[in-house]
Amino acid sequence: MSALDTVDNNDNRAAPIVRLRGLRKSFGNAEILRGIDLDVVTGQHVVIFGPSGSGKSTLLRSLNMLEQPTAGSLQVDGVEYGPGLPDEPSGRRGKVLDLRRTVGMVFQQFNLFPHLTALDNVALPLRSVRGLKGRVAQRKAAEALRRVGLLPRAAHYPQQLSGGQQQRVAIARALAMDPKVMLFDEPTSALDPELVGEVLKTMREVAETGMTMVVVTHELGFAKEIGDLNVFMEDGLVVEKGPRGFFEKCESPRAREFILAVRS
């Protein structure tokens, strides 16, 4: 029995750390997420892929409440952050700050502060979100930079670092918060091709620690390597999802077409 079967059977021992039911998000009249169901089990590495505009970033941003879901249930670690479902009793409700402590995010454009050193970029949320004192935050930030191999660059400002190094600082910033889940939104898409490898290597190392990860990526080689669960999205919906081997075995014509187009 796989971990996913266990979840489907409602086995509490494998209760999903992230559980989405009927998640919807509209911007004005445009419904961008049209009812997403997804379970992410602790330690699982989920890959999300699909055409541009299909709602992947909106989904990821919703998982961190950078976007507020319009309808449906978004439970993280057993706590409800979405509006909830009409036919489900509303459970314990969480605050955004609690969610941000639990779920870390790495963006396509790194989102580092240009006026702060690598060390201070990593230390800042440790102070503001985790409430750590300056010294403690700096020590923890240094440890996170060491994990991504950038301790020697701690005093550098973002513009003194390559794109790949900046993204590794952003990964360190998320890691330093000791999140239970890490989200990656096309983390290598803004990089020159020769810098992609070092970021994927860092992500691979994070995956090997057993970190729960949800990764939007079109790096299919990497996706095949880490994807325990692979999700193809189109037009605000999950069209098809599946375990390892998905890229060879998926059935929906749109997913197959998309995989071929990305490969070529």
18-27 and 71-76 strand pairing: antiparallel
Q: State the minimum distance, in angstroms, from the CB of residue 25 to ligand ADP.
A: 8
Based on the shown chain and the rule CB under 6 A, indicate whether residue 20 belongs to the binding site for ligand ADP: no
Residue number, 53 or 245, with CB nearest to ligand ADP: 53
Which one of ligand ADP, Mg ion, none is in contact with 52 (Cβ closer than 5 to 8 A by kind)? ligand ADP
Q: Of 227, 231, 236, 121, nearest to 169 (Cα)?
A: 121
Based on the shown chain and the rule CB under 5 A, indicate whether residue 57 belongs to the binding site for Mg ion: yes
Q: Of 154, 33, 161, 42, nearest to 103 (Cα)?
A: 42
Rounded to the nearest 5°, which phi and psi values hold at 255?
-65, -45
Q: How many residues bind ligand ADP (CB under 6 A)?
A: 9
CA 219/CA 196 separation, integer angstroms: 9
Give the 3-state secondary structure of residue 141: helix
CA 49/CA 252 separation, integer angstroms: 14
Is there a contact between 147 and 173 (Cβ–Cβ < 8 Å)?
Answer: no
Based on the shown chain and the rule CB under 6 A, indicate whether residue 52 belongs to the binding site for ligand ADP: yes
Binding mask 200-239 for ligand ADP (x = CB under 6 A): ----------------------------------------
Q: State the minimum distance, in angstroms, from the CB of residue 235 to ligand ADP.
A: 9
* Sheet strands side by side (includes 229-234): 103-106, 181-185, 212-216, 45-49, 229-234, 237-242
Based on the shown chain and the rule CB under 6 A, indicate whether residue 32 belongs to the binding site for ligand ADP: yes
Which residues between 54 and 73 bind ligand ADP (CB under 6 A)?
54-58
Residue number, 56 or 241, with CB nearest to ligand ADP: 56
Sequence-ordered list of residues with C-beta below 8 angstroms from that of 205, at least 6 positions apart, any chain: 147
Q: State the minimum distance, in angstroms, from the CB of residue 180 to ligand ADP.
A: 23
Stretch that binds Mg ion, among 57-65, 79-87, 116-124, 155-163 (CB under 5 A): 57-65
Which residues between 37 and 56 bind Mg ion (CB under 5 A)?
56
CA 92/CA 227 separation, integer angstroms: 31
Stretch that binds ligand ADP, among 10-18, 47-55, 69-77, 97-105 (CB under 6 A): 47-55
Q: How many residues bind Mg ion (CB under 5 A)?
A: 2
Q: Which pair of tokens denotes residue 82?
A: 């979405």
CA 49/CA 238 separation, integer angstroms: 10
Stretch that binds ligand ADP, among 50-58, 68-76, 100-108, 252-260 (CB under 6 A): 50-58
Note the residues at the interface with Mg ion (CB under 5 A): 56-57
Note the residues at the interface with ligand ADP (CB under 6 A): 27, 32, 52-58
